Structure 1
């Protein structure tokens, strides 16, 4: 399944994400993608809640909406551009977890549920623990 605009970069991204990575990563794909998402967010630590949705759009990950924010969690709804409901969305979940961890300075984790009702969406819940404070080293604070 290819995105609706059918352009070459989208198709290349689709092939990489939905065909090549599963072959290379095998049964560890979901876990590796989650940690890759966290690592990617650490590289892009300038992303804020205000710029998160546009970053997701530019990355080709789809439309991201903040659905709900509570004291210890945020719930996002992702409308991916191309959906294979059997594919993991752990890359996006890991990215959101690390972004929240950087923002809140608390250990954060994310889980997701694929809503298969048309149109297919992905609900990503990010939770943090106020007891697990994350201290940034001086390089990260700059």
Structure 2
């Protein structure tokens, strides 16, 4: 029989790794390294559609990704869920660079346009807003 305290253990475990161990190991390079790692993780997958990318984000990073705005060169997503809420309430400024890098690379794979991502923390609404920016003038020719 599982107690109520055990039901949050996975959130605590992931948060402990992401918000305390990794920052301690990576120091001032944390955000850049995690962003690159997110891109590398996405490269190990193949995405046929934005829906598939969204499903993978949900599965891998335990959250909900909702597109809230789209223009020719930008897409805005809200990232939320129990893990996001937990991390936002237990850490002053948790990094979501891993998720941002994964989303940017996945979007780049699907569209064939050079894409980078940034994010903003919204503590009041317990979510992260991820901004994807694409440059349709940059060639992604693979050699």
Query: 4+ runs of 1 displaced by more than 6 Å?
Result: none
Q: Which residue of 1 aligns with 2:74?
A: 73
Structure 2 CA distance for aligned equivalents of residues 14 and 83 of structure 1: 6
Say if 2:113 is the partner of 1:109.
no
If the length of structure 1 is used for normalisation, what is the TM-score? 0.83
SS at match of 2:141: coil
* Structure in which a larger fraction of residues adopt helix: 2
If the length of structure 2 is used for normalisation, what is the TM-score? 0.82
- Structure 1 unaligned residues grouped into runs of 5+: 138-142
Task: Give the root-mean-square deviation of aligned CA atoms.
Answer: 1.9
Is the CA contact 1:10–1:60 (under 8 Å) kept in the aligned structure 2? no
Is the CA contact 1:105–1:135 (under 8 Å) kept in the aligned structure 2? no
Say if 2:135 is the partner of 1:133.
no
Structure 2 CA distance for aligned equivalents of residues 23 and 100 of structure 1: 30
**Alignment size in residue pairs:** 132
- Structure 2 unaligned residues grouped into runs of 5+: 1-5
Q: Which residue of 1 aligns with 2:39?
A: 38
Q: Which residue of 1 aligns with 2:94?
A: 87
